Structure 1
Amino acid sequence: MSRSYFHLHLVSDSTGETLINVGRAAAAQYEGVSAIEHVYPLVRSGSQLERVISEIKAAPGLVLYTLVGGDLGERLESACRESGSPCLSVLQPVHALLQSYLGAPVAARPGAQHMLNAEYFKRIDAMNFTLAHDDGNLPHDLEEADVILLGVSRTSKTPTSIYLANRGLKTTNLPLVPGVPLPPELERAKRPLIVGLFASPERIVQIRQNRILSLQADESTTYVDRVAVADEITASRRLFTRNRWPTIDVTRRSIEETAAAILDLYRDHRLKFIAT
C-alpha cells in the first residue's frame, strides 16, 4: 500500500515532548499516512516565532502548539490562517476544563512541568540507579529496587527498565542465562516487584539474529538456534511459575505497553506491601 505524507509542525515554548507524544499518538491511528515532523522547542520570543512562521509558510501543513505566554499563540494562529494551515492549541481545551472546574486562572508559566521539584529529582535518582544495575550489575542491593525484571536475552529488559526509571521507579534487570545461577539476593528480596518477561521463540530468534548481524558475529551458535531458544523460554517460564512471579508476554508489545502493564502491577504490589 502506498503511503501519503503531510507536514506536521509542532511549536512549543518548552521541550516539545507533549506535542511530539500527542502528534505521534494521533497520527498512528491513520494507516498509510506518515507525518513529516517539524519540531520547534523553546519558542518564547517574537523573533523566534517569526522564524517558525516562515518555515510553516514554506511547508504548509497541520500545526499543533503549546504556547502559554503572551500573545504568541494568537500571532501563530493568525499566520496559520493566512497560509491555510490548520492550527490547534493542544492544551487550551484542557486549560478551559480545569479553569472551569477549579475556578482559578491559568498561571501561564512556560515549561512549568519541567520545574526542578522533588518528583524531578526522584526520576533522576531512579535513572542513575537503573543504569548502574543494568544486566545483572550490582546484585547485592536488589532490595533497594522498586522493580526487578527477569528474562532471557532480547526480551526488552533494558529499554523497559529505562522507561520505568523515567517514571520514577528504580529498576534492575537480571538476564536468565543457561547454566548461570541467579544471585542469592533475589530470593531474599521482599520489597521489589519481580516480573518475568518472555516472548515467542520465533520473535527472540529474529531479534537475536539481527543483533548478531549488527555485530558481524558468528551465527553458528545456540544463541539463535530455534530449539535452544525454545528451551530457554520454557525454563524461564517454569522459574516464574515456581516463584509465583507475574509474567508479561512481550512478543507483540511495545516498550510503552509493557511498562504500562508493569506500572499497573506495581501499584497493586505496593498496596499489598504496605498492608503487610
Structure 2
Amino acid sequence: MQRLHLHLVSDSTGETLEMIAKAALAQFEGAEVVRHFWPMVRSRQHLDRIVPELTANPGLVLYTLVNPETRLRLEEHCRHLTLPAVPVLDGVTAALEHALGREAHGRPGRQHLMDEAYFSRVDAIQFTIAHDDGIGWENWEEADIVLAGVSRSSKTPTSIYLANRGFKVANIPL
C-alpha cells in the first residue's frame, strides 16, 4: 500500500483545512495517510521551519494561506521540491468574489472573530450550564428550549450541543 504524506498548512487554527482534508480522505478507504499539521503559519520564519519536513517527507500540500507573500513562498518551495500544492479555498473564494462583486478581505482567521454572535453563544453556554438537571428553575422562562426527559437520556450533552449553536437550554429530569 502506498503511503501519502499530507501536509496541511494554515495561517489560522487549521480547523477548516482539517475538516476539508478529512471529508476528502473519507473517499479513499484504507489509504495510508500520514498527516503533518502546520497551523498559525503567518511569517517567513514559520514557513521556513516547515521546509525541512517537506523535504524529508514529500507528499501533497494542502493550504489555506491568505497572505500573498507567505502563499508565494510556500508555492515556490513546493515547486522547487516538485510537490503538488493545493490552495483549498481559492475556488470557493473566487466564486464568492464574483457573485458578490467585491474582493475578499484576505485576513486569516476571520471565522473566529469574537463578535456579537460569539458572545451570544458564550451566554447561551453559561445559561445552559447554570440550568442543567433541574437547576435554576426560577428563570426557565429565559430559556429558548426546555428539555424534559428521564434520567440518563442524554439531556445534558444535547443541551450543550444546542448551547454551542446559540440556544439557551434548560433541562429537567422527570
Q: What TM-score, normalized by structure 1, do the two folds share?
A: 0.55
Task: Report which stretch shifted further, 164-173 or 40-49.
Answer: 164-173
Residues 142-181 of structure 1, C-alpha deviations (whole Å, 9 max, x = no match): 3222233445555544333333322222233444xxxxxx
Q: Look up the SS of the partner of 2:68 in the other structure.
A: coil
The one of the two structures with greater contact order (alpha-carbon pairs below 8 A, sep at least 6) is 2
* Of 105, 108, 123, the match for 1:107: 105
* Of 54, 57, 68, the match for 1:59: 57
- 1:4 and 1:32 in contact (8 A); partners too: no
Query: For this pair of structures, how many residues does the alignment match?
Result: 174
Unaligned runs of 5+ in 2: none
The 5 A counterparts of 1:94-243 are 94-152=92-150, 155-175=153-173, 182=174
Q: Look up the SS of the partner of 1:148 in the other structure.
A: strand
Residues 208-247 of structure 1, C-alpha deviations (whole Å, 9 max, x = no match): xxxxxxxxxxxxxxxxxxxxxxxxxxxxxxxxxxxxxxxx
Residue 22 (structure 2) pairs with residue 24 (structure 1): yes
Distance 2:32 2:172 in 1: 37
What is the deviation of 1:83? Answer: 3.0
Distance 2:138 2:109 in 1: 39
- 1:27 and 1:34 in contact (8 A); partners too: no
What is the deviation of 1:69? Answer: 1.4
- 1:13 and 1:43 in contact (8 A); partners too: yes
Distance 1:31 1:113 in 2: 30
Distance 1:163 1:118 in 2: 19
- Letter paired with 2:74: L
- Letter paired with 2:145: V
Aligned-pair identity (%): 53
Distance 2:139 2:87 in 1: 46
Unaligned runs of 5+ in 1: 176-181, 183-276
Residue 9 (structure 2) pairs with residue 11 (structure 1): yes
Distance 1:16 1:95 in 2: 17
- Letter paired with 1:24: K
Distance 1:20 1:151, change over 3 A: farther
Distance 1:148 1:29 in 2: 39
- 1:9 and 1:38 in contact (8 A); partners too: yes
Query: In structure 1, what is the equivalent of residue 76 of structure 2?
Result: 78
Distance 2:72 2:106 in 1: 14
The 5 A counterparts of 1:37-48 are 37-48=35-46
What is the deviation of 1:49? Answer: 0.9
